[in-house]
Structure 1
């Protein structure tokens, strides 16, 4: 499985994130979410297919980024469990 970073900004005031969050969770049982608008998921899909799947859950003025990760990363400030997940899944 490949690892993808998903980031988004929902720009409309009063935007409901629940629909988008539910859609991201449905993409993969293996996901990490420790930053407000950033997710990391494991998937056999492509970045374009993930984007296309999520587009129906955002408005036209929102921003969505899906990037395949290379496996290298650096971070600080996360719990031991969050860090372990990243080490195990990047």
Structure 2
């Protein structure tokens, strides 16, 4: 988030407050949701491994990716891939 606040020429706190007011979502959640949306598309449209998708979407590990994905979607990435191809 510090890179974004630097680009906007605002302090981190002011940027986070202004971002939340403009979008209704804190910057961290907004970025996390975009990463998970990218993962959803990769799961549907590619045969990449879950570890590769976690890396591409900048998660620290496949386990971290799986936990975040399950919270966001309600199912594991593997189950989602299986259901989206059925």
- Normalising by structure 1, what TM-score? 0.29
**Greater fraction helix:** 2
**Higher relative contact order structure (alpha carbons within 8 Å, sequence separation ≥ 6):** 1
- Normalising by structure 2, what TM-score? 0.30
**Greater fraction strand:** 1
User: Which has the higher Rg, Structure 1 or Structure 2?
Assistant: 2
